[in-house]
Structure formats: structure tokens, C-alpha cells
Amino acid sequence: MMKRVYFNDVVTRDGFQIEPNFIPTDDKVKLVDELSDCGFAKIEVTSFSSPKAIPMLKDAEEVMGRIKRVSGVEYTALVPNLRGAERAFESKADEFNLVMSTSETHNLANLRMGREKSFAGLAEVIKYVDGRTPINVSLSTCFGCPMEGEVSRDVVEGFAKRFADLGVRGLTICDTTGMANPEQVKKMCDSFQKQFPSLQLTLHFHNTRGMGLANILAAVQSGIIRFDGSLGGLGGCPYAPGASGNVSSEDAIHMLDAMGYETGINIPKLLQLAKELSQIVGHEVPGQVAKAGSTYTLHPEPSYVEELRRQQ
């Protein structure tokens, strides 16, 4: 039996937040609609962060209001604090993706407060939401912080446990700047699945050091079925030094499909969309499969091959 995996595309949030030039609202809405047509289980549409912190996503309300809602697709949004939750609520996000870092330094850099203050604020958000909307918590820098270095598994699991106790539906374990390696991923996934068997667990990798697909492989082989990816491999936290693109959705989906996993995605459509992305952002994007074509896209043989074949 084919095993089903579920992808959340984060290009219009994680992908766009680090882009230097403002991407017009029309382009964001159109891209989300096209991602819906590709068959993603979830799309992280935008972020209800402070528009001063993330000017690219200052049009969050308008984007949420204009996208087409396809049944079976969840439209989630990043929420850093209570103000963000109020805005996400008004915009009818299907899920609130709360965020904090497991590294004190990265939390201060990104959210301008310490971890305990973030946790208390997010606990307040969970109370305010009161079960009306499912909550996911993305924990940043779980595999290492670009400023502090190692973040201990005890710290990561400590925050995970505190959120699990508050009744969240899911947790996303984020490798914010691509520091994870497959062995570390396997250990983390085994431990999380054992400790939190009833939570939806998602893995979020950045391909900063070329380990993104290897880490996805390690996670899926440990039993993880939910992944974040970003079309074209765009992305990065503007407040994490050295951040670069997420693992490319199409490269990861192409790999898992070739291995026999059921992704639910229309891959030719996804590759076409990835090809068009460079026009939207105005530069080349890192994803590889959209450039190479899928393994099913064959090239014509050179003309001299037929001659050689006859001589054999």
C-alpha cells in the first residue's frame, strides 16, 4: 500500500518574507490559488506579524480575503502574538501557526522578546482562541541556532511538552538555517513521535547546506508524514543571520513520488508553477527539478546514436 504524505507549501510566507522587492498582492493571490489547484494539503498563505517587522506581508488581510478557498486545502497563517491572532481570526485562517524560537538569542532577534515572554503570550493566544481554530506551533532553530549553536533536545522537547499540555493540534519542528543532519533528524523524529503520538508533527527544513532532501528522507523513514516545503526553494527568516531557502516543495515531492509515496500533488502542474516563479520574484530560484524536468521527462537521443546502434 502506498503511504500518504502531506505537504504544506510556505512560499507566500517563508518564501516571500526574505525577498528584497515587494511582491504585488495580485501575484500572491494568484500563486496561492495555483498552489490550491496543485493539490497541497495546506498552504501557509501569509503572516500576521507586525508590518514593520515583515513589510512584505503587510497585505495579509487582503490576500486572505481574496484567495479562493478550495475544500480539502487548509489555509494557515503565521501568528506571533495576540494582535496577530485577532487579525488571523478576522481573516478566517483555517489554522493559526504560532511561532517562537527554542533559542533565546534567535527569539530576541526575531520576536524582540525572550522565550518565556513569547511562551506566555502564545499561551494567552491559545486561551483566546479557545478551540475555535486549530493551533499549530512552529518551534524555530530546533536543530541549532546560527548565533548560539547547539540547542539541546531537552530545551526543544521542554517547549514542545508545554505546548502539548495546552492542547495544540500540531507542532512543527523547524531547522531555521539548515543546520540539521539526517542522524540528528532521525533521533528527533523518533523521540517526538514517542512522546507526542497524538499530535500532528511536521518537519520544516531549510536547504542552506544542501542537506534538505537528506533530512526529509531521514524524517519520512522515521515515520513522519507531514512536511513544509517552499515552491522553488525560496525562503528564510530575515532575523536569522545566514538564512536561505526552504527545501524546495517540488524537489521533495518529486523525490517522494519517485520512491512510491502518495503525495496528492499534480506534479506536472507543480513543476510548471515552479518554472513561472522566477518571473514573479525577478530572479532565478534554487529548486532543481523544475529546471531539469522530472525523471519521466526524457531527452531525444543524439542523431549519431541510431547509426551506432545499427553497427552493434
According to CB under 6 A, which one of 125, 185, 237, 255 is a site residue for ligand COA? 237
| Among Zn ion, ligand COA, none, partner that 47 touches (CB below 5 to 8 angstroms by kind) | ligand COA
According to CB under 6 A, which one of 35, 56, 64, 99 is a site residue for ligand COA? 99
Give Cα 204 to chain centroid, integer Å.
5
| Among Zn ion, ligand COA, none, partner that 112 touches (CB below 5 to 8 angstroms by kind) | ligand COA
The nearer residue to ligand COA, 38 or 125, going by C-beta atoms, is 125
The whole-angstrom separation of Cα 216 and Cα 54 is 28
Show Cβ contacts of residue 37 under 8 Å, excluding neighbours closer than 6 positions: 70, 266, 269
Number of residues that bind ligand COA (CB under 6 A): 22
According to CB under 6 A, which one of 10, 111, 247, 273 is a site residue for ligand COA? 111
49 makes contact with ligand COA (CB under 6 A): yes
And the C-alpha cell for 148? 548560539
Is 237 one of the catalytic residues?
yes
| Among Zn ion, ligand COA, none, partner that 80 touches (CB below 5 to 8 angstroms by kind) | ligand COA
**Coil vs helix vs strand at 253:** helix
And the C-alpha cell for 289? 527539478
Q: Which residues bind Zn ion (CB under 5 A)?
A: 14
230 makes contact with ligand COA (CB under 6 A): no
And the C-alpha cell for 53? 517587522
The whole-angstrom separation of Cα 95 and Cα 245 is 23
Smallest distance, ligand COA to C-beta of residue 176, A: 7
47 makes contact with ligand COA (CB under 6 A): yes
- The answer to whether 143 and 184 have CB atoms below 8 angstroms apart is yes
Give the closest residue to 74 by CA, choosing from 2, 10, 162, 1. Answer: 10
The whole-angstrom separation of Cα 119 and Cα 241 is 23
Give the closest residue to 148 by CA, choosing from 102, 215, 112. Answer: 102
The Cβ of residue 133 has, within 10 Å, a number of other Cβ atoms equal to 17
> Rounded to a whole number, what is the distance in angstroms from the first to the last CA of the chain?
42
48 makes contact with ligand COA (CB under 6 A): yes
Smallest distance, ligand COA to C-beta of residue 137, A: 12
Smallest distance, ligand COA to C-beta of residue 84, A: 3
The whole-angstrom separation of Cα 137 and Cα 79 is 9
| Among ligand COA, Zn ion, none, partner that 110 touches (CB below 5 to 8 angstroms by kind) | ligand COA
The nearer residue to ligand COA, 51 or 241, going by C-beta atoms, is 51
**Footprint on residues 123-152 left by ligand COA (CB under 6 A):** 140
* Residues annotated as catalytic (active site), given as ranges: 237
Q: Contact residues for ligand COA (CB under 6 A)? A: 17, 47-54, 78, 80-81, 83-84, 87, 99, 110-112, 140, 237, 239
